[in-house]
Amino acid sequence: METPKNTDTDTRPDPEELKELLDNDGISPMPGHDVEHTSEDRDSRSLEFLYDVPLQVSVEVGRSRILLRDLLKMGEGYVIELDKIAGDPLDLYVNSRLIARGEAVMVGEKFGIRLTDVVSTSDRLEKLG
């Protein structure tokens, strides 16, 4: 399900949109509707034992290389120039593997990331080996 884009200049998602996203983590059929099980459903059930495996998720704003002498000079207010420009998508990594790209959003008083481009499953599997 694609979520509607927030048209405000503010990057905060609509509270109802957040509630819908949080409530729809597992979509179940309406009562009385039969669902045909596919091989994909069987595959997902066979992987259920992996659902509780913890993963390290990180979002990369940009990268930079600095000299040790510059690192030692750092203090409050020091600025490090990154290789991305403002407005570039942020990179989402899971266990150090690029999974998706997105844009920064505010969720209450916290930052979040709205995914705009997800790496295809075949590309992710190809990079595992």
Q: Model confidence over 17-29: pLDDT tens digits?
A: 655 655 554 444 4
SS3 per-residue string spanning 85-105: CCCCCEEEEECCEEEEEEEEE
Q: Model confidence over 41-81: pLDDT tens digits?
A: 555 567 788 888 999 999 998 999 999 999 999 999 998 88
Whether the full predicted model's pTM is greater than 0.85, yes or no, is no
CB neighbour class for 124 (10 Å; exposed up to 12, middle 13-18, buried from 19): middle
At 80 the three-state DSSP class reads: coil
Residue ranges and CATH numbers for the domains of the chain are: 57-129 (2.30.330.10)
